[in-house]
Amino acid sequence: MVTLALIVILILAVSVLIGFVVGHNKLRAADVNVAEALAGIDVELSRRAALIPALVHTVQTFAAHEKAVLGQVSAATAALTRATGSTSVARRCAAETELDDAIAEVLALRSAYPQLNSSNNFLDLQDDLADTENKLAFARQYYNDAVSQLNRLIATIPWMYVARLAGVEERDFYQMPRR
């Protein structure tokens, strides 16, 4: 009778240990997916930031006296570069919004300077920027999907008990402010 009780206790202990290991690995894998998805956003943000100097140079050629607008773009690009080095999703969103506003002002200059619309370089940069925006939207959605999966795991039993022990916490969604 005692040996049967010991065997049952041993089987339960092994089952709990296996459950913990499986849960830990599952949560850590989901956490890594979120980190990878955030890095994908950073890649696209960096790609977009790399297009900005060429866009500024092209606009500067036609609208040299628009220094305030071009300076705003440079400041916003620098802020975005700093934000991608941090772990804060909210900081990335704010910097991205600031850059979006600055780019919108630069692109609005084409109505004041019609010769910009005839510049192949400007038109190519606009196409590259639009392509990057599409990739960035996909990267944001992929990140939010990964966050949703992780947060769902953390909120459900039995993973919610393992999450604290694994050091995995809920993550914030990537939310762009509505305009």
Q: What distance lies between CA 165 and its chain's CA centroid?
A: 26
Query: What is the H or E stretch that residue 44 is in?
Result: helix 2-62
Inform me whether the pLDDT recorded for 113 exceeds 80: no
| pLDDT band (50, 70, 90) for residue 40 | very high
How large is the average pLDDT for residues 23-29? 90
pLDDT of residue 98: 87
Are the beta carbons of 110 and 116 closer than 8 angstroms? yes
Inform me whether the pLDDT recorded for 179 exceeds 90: no
Report the 10 Å Cβ neighbour count for 12: 10
pLDDT of residue 149: 94
User: Using CA atoms, how far apart are residues 98 and 131, in angstroms rounded to an integer?
Assistant: 19
In eight-state DSSP terms, residue 171 is -
pLDDT of residue 135: 93
Q: Which residues, 6+ apart, have CB-to-CB distance to 106 below 8 Å?
A: 55, 56, 59, 69, 70, 73
Are the beta carbons of 80 and 49 closer than 8 angstroms? yes
Domain 23-166 belongs to what architecture? Up-down Bundle (1.20)
In eight-state DSSP terms, residue 1 is -
